[in-house]
Amino acid sequence: MKHLDVVVPTRLLEDVGILTELFFHNNESVDVLQSFAVRPHVLAFVVRVRRRGPFKDLEAIRREARALVRRYRLARFELMSASRERGEYVAWIEWKIPEAVEEAFGKEGGIVPLRVIREDPGSARVSLLVSESVLRRFRSVLDRFGGHDWVRAVRRVPAGRWDPWTTLTLRQRELLTLAFRLGYYETPAKVSLHRLGQLVGISRAAFSKHLRSAERKILGTVVGPPR
Enter the CATH code of domain 1-18+108-159: 3.30.70
- Provide the pLDDT for residue 175: 94
- Provide the pLDDT for residue 115: 95
- Provide the pLDDT for residue 19: 86
The span from the CA of 204 to the CA of 101, in Å, is 34
**Higher-pLDDT residue of 223, 68:** 68
Mean pLDDT for the chain overall: 87
- Provide the pLDDT for residue 107: 66
- Provide the pLDDT for residue 17: 82
Domain segments of the chain as ranges: 1-18+108-159, 21-97, 164-223
| Most confident option among 8-17, 99-108, 157-166 | 8-17
What is the architecture of the domain spanning 164-223?
A: Orthogonal Bundle (1.10)
